[in-house]
Amino acid sequence: MAFGTWTPFPASAPPARTAPEPDAAAGPAGPRPSRPEPPPCPPPSRGFVGARPPTYDPEPTALPAADPDDLDGLVPDTVLDGARYGACTLRAASVRGDSARYRGEPRRDALLTARFGTGERALLLVALATGARTAPLAHLAAAEACRWIGRAVGRSHVRLVDDIRAARRGDLKSGLHRLTDRSLGRLRAGAAEQGLEPDAYTATLRCLLLPADPECRTRVFFGVGPGGLFRLRDGAWQDIEPEVAEVRGEPVVGFGSPPSETPEGDRLTMDLGIPTPPSPYEPAPEPPREPFRFRTSVARPGDTLLMCGTGLADPMHGEDEFRAHLAGRWSRPEPPGLAAFLADTQVRVKGYADDRTAVAVWEA
């Protein structure tokens, strides 16, 4: 038959089916060996949890107002990204909250995912920033905070990779504190240039550093401002967010709050407004209003690490059914695809209508 032609089977003569080969290992009359049962599928993702659906519509309604002379300031409703390097698989999503969708307001959360370097010397940065709730330029401040920390980490990534691989925790802490101070100091300088109060052009900032080296399982969290840091291990969520109360010796309210150092090697540091030594090349910036948060942890195979803003951290802290649903979805060995991860982060709960931004890392 010439290439490109097609000959149909006659209607009266369907194609013959070849009988399967007998299983020689089973013998002439023996049964075929049974195949192992596939693992059960995770529970399907749901539109909402709780007794009643949320007040707002589940899909976007109104678009934010646009300025024809400043279209660069527009923020998409949803951002989705992912990657796989070394022993970890990354999923990241940022979704405009139900309230902002209804009111036609922009998403105040900003998300940056970036890789610096190549091969096993590469470093992954995921930055999450949230602008002030009442500030009209909150979305611009959040995006700028992500860009500044991205530039700072990118220019220092070689030294950061060396410090992470060599477990130089003190150098990491002081260096990342300095980079964070400088980045947020840029926002304060930008507010002054625009004639704004500092609180009118500011953002919280939370970051993860993930080395691409498969032999290095150290994960570094740092930032300024509230949010959530959780770990899913053996099917149960652990709250590993550095808490101010832990440093001050006060009781901590919430589920699973760990001590400042755990047997698994997780350690946290809070710097309560203590200024870092000034750089010889530029003046020392004003210390951030919020304490600097820092934690290094050593990942185990099968762990899932979740960093999120307050829009997702609040239902994680306050709704048992929501936590259980995500645990059921994310406890399988294989991480979800991008579309499935986005659906999981959008499971709604009545009373929680803020932006949702989640960064999750699955450990092979």
Q: Which helix (H) or strand (E) holds 271?
A: strand 267-271
Task: Give the residue-averaged pLDDT of 311-334.
Answer: 94
- In the numeric block, the tokens 């060396």 are attached to 162
Per-residue pLDDT tens digits for 218-261: 999 999 999 999 999 999 999 999 865 443 443 333 333 334 45
Rounded to whole angstroms, the Cα distance separating 1 from 206 reads 63
Q: What pLDDT sits at residue 34?
A: 58
pTM: 0.77
341: pLDDT strictly greater than 90: yes
More confident residue, 84 or 268: 84
Which tokens hold the place of 53? 């659906």
- Measured at the alpha carbon of residue 96, what is the angle toward residues 228 and 360, in degrees to the nearest 5? 40
Mean pLDDT of the chain: 82
27: pLDDT strictly greater than 70: no
Q: What pLDDT sits at residue 312?
A: 97
Task: Give the residue-averaged pLDDT of 309-331.
Answer: 95
Q: What is the CATH number of domain 72-363?
A: 3.60.40.10
Per-residue pLDDT tens digits for 247-259: 344 333 333 333 4
Band (pLDDT 50/70/90 cuts) for residue 70 is: confident
Rounded to whole angstroms, the Cα distance separating 295 from 263 reads 14
Band (pLDDT 50/70/90 cuts) for residue 262 is: low
In one-letter notation, the amino acid at residue 185 is G
Band (pLDDT 50/70/90 cuts) for residue 80 is: very high
Q: Could you tell me where the DSSP H helices lie in 65-119?
A: 98-103
1: pLDDT strictly greater than 80: no
Closest by alpha carbon to 106, among 97, 116, 118? 97
315: pLDDT strictly greater than 70: yes
Q: What pLDDT sits at residue 39?
A: 55
Which tokens hold the place of 276? 């870092």
Rounded to whole angstroms, the Cα distance separating 353 from 346 reads 11
- Beta strand 292-298 pairing with 267-271: antiparallel
Q: What pLDDT sits at residue 47?
A: 76
Q: What pLDDT sits at residue 333?
A: 82
How far the first Cα of the chain sits from its last, in Å, is 49
Rounded to whole angstroms, the Cα distance separating 332 from 360 reads 14
Per-residue pLDDT tens digits for 163-215: 999 999 999 999 999 999 999 999 999 999 989 888 889 999 999 999 999 99
125: pLDDT strictly greater than 60: yes
Q: What pLDDT sits at residue 199?
A: 85
Q: What pLDDT sits at residue 107?
A: 96
Rounded to whole angstroms, the Cα distance separating 148 from 314 reads 27
216: pLDDT strictly greater than 90: yes
Closest by alpha carbon to 186, among 223, 155, 154, 141? 141
With left for phi above 0 and alpha for psi between -120 and 50, is residue 265 left, alpha or beta? left
Q: What pLDDT sits at residue 45?
A: 63
Instruction: Please tell me the least confidently modeled range out of 43-47, 49-53, 74-78.
Output: 43-47
Q: Could you tell me where the DSSP H helices lie in 156-296?
A: 157-165, 169-193, 244-248
Per-residue pLDDT tens digits for 146-168: 999 999 999 999 999 999 999 99
More confident residue, 4 or 290: 290
Rounded to whole angstroms, the Cα distance separating 168 from 176 reads 12
Q: Which residues in 170-196 are b (16+ Cβ under 10 Å) and which e?
A: eebbbbbbbbbbbbbbbbbebbeeeeb
- How far does Cα 18 stand from its chain's mean position? 51
Q: What φ, ψ does residue 268 adopt, rounded to 5°?
A: -130, 160
